[in-house]
Amino acid sequence: MQIVEVREVTAELLAAVNGLLPQLSATARSMSVADLAAVVKADASRLFMAVEEEKYYGMLTLICFATPTGRRARIEDLVVDGLARGKGAGRQLLAHAIQAADAWGARAVDLTSNPARLAANRLYQQMGFVTQSTHVYRLTLPR
């Protein structure tokens, strides 16, 4: 399995992302070419894909931003195709993102995970992530 940073949107990439999104969230909507291009072109984000034999098996978005207390990084939308789970793709995606965040100058990498995702949470802990004693708040904006 190889981890690649996406630099251009192709039809194959769009189909792969749209195939992975329902495995990430039942409420995720399909992306358009413009939606995916906005992620790929954004200065503050990097989209990484797990690829083997020209097939995409997983993805992760790394977001890095400056704050008054230092540069931070956040991992979003980490998902591995059900057929590839348990083969190390998630671990490789995380390791690649951590290295990229470090190279970007981040002082920490955050992520959130549903507590019911037991295997994912074990992986995060194995990779050195520590549960924080904080609340995550969300305000959903009308769209």
| pLDDT tens-digit map of 11-33 | 999 999 999 999 988 888 999 99
pLDDT in tens, 102-138: 999 999 999 999 888 898 999 999 999 999 998 888 8
Domain assignment of residue 94, given as a range: 2-126
Q: Look at residue 142 and tell me if it is in a domain.
A: no
- Counting the structural domains of the chain, the total is 1
Domain annotation covers residue 137: no
Tell me, what CATH number does 98's domain have?
3.40.630.30
Q: Looking at the domain assignment, is residue 6 inside a domain?
A: yes
Calculate the alpha carbon distances from 40 to 20, 62, 119 in Å: 16, 11, 28
Q: Is there a domain that residue 143 lies in?
A: no
Give 14's contacts (C-beta < 8 A, 6+ positions apart).
31, 33, 36
